[in-house]
Structure 1
Amino acid sequence: MTNTALPPVADAKIWREELDQLRKREKAATRELDAIAAARRRLPMVELPDYTLTGADGPTRLVDVFRGRTQLIVYNHMWTDGAEWQCGGCTGYTSQFTRLDFLDSYDARFVIVTTGPIDEALAYRDRVGNMMDWYSSSDSPFAADVDAAPDSGFAVNVFLRDGDTVYRTWHTNGRGTEQLSHTFGLVDVLPWGRQEEWQDSPSGWPKREIYSGWLDSEDIARLYGRSE
């Protein structure tokens, strides 16, 4: 891509002074995120029914999805039954998570739950090269009960297990899921940022339609999985 839009050029002293001013705002944002995380740890939780999902080995109680761990993060993946390619945003987002063993040290797991039939879901996971464990809630009200009903979108939900009882502790969707992603953090530190129409950028900065820079499902399969 060729573009002539460039930031203004300054000497090192001015650049450092302006960076220091920006750093104050960045530090304030970090402290606010710390405060939000502290408030999140103080949220109440709600007890859930004894849901049964379907995994690669058949019906699985939600409590058993924890595999002995106490905490569980679930990405509720958008799904259309019978479609060759599922949501590009969800496919690209979850393709980031390739090394999750570090969660073992935090007594936690991270899995995907979709409303699609488990056979379709597992075949799609392999086609796009996804590395996570997938489960289906197609025979359960689980998805609707955690704000991720069929045809309604995607979400992240977090759960805590106490013995055989499971509690829901946190939920987000939309741009709230960005905090779990490294993709946008990396792109946002680039001089041109995401280059999407909605963003506040200097005059002349490259702009394109929202989502148009994202990899689609076929791209993910070609890069990481099996596209045939």
Structure 2
Amino acid sequence: MKFVCLGYIDEEQFAALPAPEGQRIMESCFAYDDELRRGGHFIGGEALDSAKNAVILRIKNGKVDVTDGPYAETKEFLGGILLLEANDLNHAIALMSQHPGVTVGPFEIRPADAHVNALIAERDAKIRAATAPADAISPTTSVDGQPPVVSRAEWQQAMETLRAKEKKATRLRDALAAERRRLPMVAVEKDYRFDGPHGKVALIDLFEGRRQLAIYHFMFAEGVGGWPDAGCPGCSLLVDNLGHPAHYNARDLSLALVSRGPLANLLTYQKRMGWKLPWYSSAGTTFNEDFGVSTPDGETHGLSIFLRDDQKIYQTYFTGKRGAEVLLSNFTLLDLTPLGRQEMWEDSPPGWPQSEPYQWWRRHDEYDTTDLVEIQS
């Protein structure tokens, strides 16, 4: 979120400080601003001239009346404006509480109005487009397959317009997550038994004593690419993105992989990939069929979420296909780049490199620049 931080100062008191002390305060403020920049929090700012040089405009008798001096009769006047990027108001307060400027005067922190600012940015873009020379490059025009080159101010304006949309999408995701947390549950009645590294285990054992369990249904079975020595390349790509389980465990969640393939095959492939996540075989059970990932048409992948209440187990959520992309941080990063995922379904500028989906995916030890599918322009 963007916040506008208004810094107030007692001009007479500050002017009365010894010159070295005033200089020290200024330098410490600049140094902290640099720290905010390095953290990606400093958007911009302006220092203001003395309030004595201000003028006030008012309407009197239907005409604009101009008077000299500050608006309010007070010792503390607005001395500067800092534009701050923070997660929320509490984060903004925490950041600005450390600003040396607080030692010489109060800061007023206000959230920027993202909706109105987006409207302003949209109007700015329309005016620029309407007044641009005939041969000017518009923000939607590509030259030689690349985005247009604009001034930093124009780039910042375009970023602000996009940022408002991104924040709206974030709030929509938050609302979906809230709805997801309130979904009804369904009891798991069957006593499933899986093959694990230390013998047979029940579904409740996969919780490892925690209240929540996420199972990724990994495609490793006859008919899946790589069988019998390797698992699905796409599933393998996903598991590479799952990160260290300590972060899930800290929020009372265990994570496990379950596949139909024999345990020996799974463990051999697990060692090859260097994964540490627990992996269990559902061979000889109806687990995959019951949860919709083994069908007459073949195998598919998916993510099931479970909640435990003592010895009772409930399924709370399931997603598959592109719904599981939320686990793929590499796709998230690629989506932030100019070239994107470089797949043909994407809406990209003309001339952007693209190939068929899935074809470029490899297990992480199989990428070879001489073996990659040729990118089609």
The TM-score normalised by the length of structure 1 is 0.90
Q: Structure 2: how far apart are the matches of 1:199 and 1:45?
A: 36
- Hey, what does 2:202 align to over in structure 1? 61
Which consecutive aligned stretches of 4+ in structure 1 deviate over 6 angstroms post-superposition? Answer: none
- Hey, what does 2:27 align to over in structure 1? none
- Hey, what does 1:100 align to over in structure 2? 245
Coordinate RMSD, CA, aligned: 1.5
Q: Structure 1: how far apart are the matches of 2:200 and 2:232?
A: 25
1:190 counterpart = 2:337: yes
Give the counterpart letter for 1:10 in structure 2: V
Shift of the 47–166 alpha-carbon distance from structure 1 to 2, 3 Å rule, reads: same
Greater relative CO (CA pairs within 8 A, separation 6+):
1
Q: Structure 2: how far apart are the matches of 1:143 and 1:206?
A: 38
Query: Which of 121, 138, 146 is matched with 2:291 structurally?
Result: 146
- Hey, what does 1:80 align to over in structure 2? 221
Moved more, 98-107 or 67-76: 98-107
- Hey, what does 1:35 align to over in structure 2? 175
Deviation of 1:218 (Å): 4.8
Q: Which has the higher strand share?
A: 2
| Unaligned residue ranges in structure 2 (runs of 5+) | 1-143, 368-377
Q: Deviations over 1:105-158 (max 9, x none)?
A: 211111100011111111111122222110011121111111211632100000
1:71 counterpart = 2:212: yes
Identity of counterpart residues, as a percentage? 37
- Hey, what does 1:223 align to over in structure 2? none
Query: Which of 363, 366, 374 is matched with 1:216 structurally?
Result: 363
Q: Structure 2: how far apart are the matches of 1:7 and 1:16?
A: 15
Q: Deviations over 1:163-219 (max 9, x none)?
A: 111110000001100112211100100111011111001111111121233223652
- Hey, what does 2:312 align to over in structure 1? 165
1:176 counterpart = 2:355: no
Count of aligned pairs: 217
Q: Deviations over 1:77-117 (max 9, x none)?
A: 01224522221101111022241111222111111000111
Q: Deviations over 1:42-97 (max 9, x none)?
A: 00010002211111111101011111100000100012245222211011110222
- Hey, what does 1:119 align to over in structure 2? 264
Q: Structure 2: how far apart are the matches of 1:217 and 1:170?
A: 29
- On the 8 A contact 1:50/1:63 being kept in 2, the answer is no
- On the 8 A contact 1:115/1:137 being kept in 2, the answer is yes
Q: Structure 1: how far apart are the matches of 2:282 and 2:312?
A: 18
Query: Max radius of gyration: which structure?
Result: 2
Q: Structure 1: how far apart are the matches of 2:343 and 2:284?
A: 39
- On the 8 A contact 1:54/1:137 being kept in 2, the answer is yes
Query: Which of 157, 164, 180 is matched with 1:17 structurally?
Result: 157
The TM-score normalised by the length of structure 2 is 0.56
- Hey, what does 1:7 align to over in structure 2? 147
Q: Structure 2: how far apart are the matches of 1:51 and 1:80?
A: 19
- On the 8 A contact 2:233/2:363 being kept in 1, the answer is yes
Q: Structure 1: how far apart are the matches of 2:263 and 2:364?
A: 19
Query: Which of 98, 113, 129 is matched with 2:274 structurally?
Result: 129
Shift of the 184–166 alpha-carbon distance from structure 1 to 2, 3 Å rule, reads: same
Find the residue that maps to 1:138 and give its secondary structure: coil
Find the residue that maps to 1:219 and give its secondary structure: coil
Q: Structure 1: how far apart are the matches of 2:291 and 2:365?
A: 29
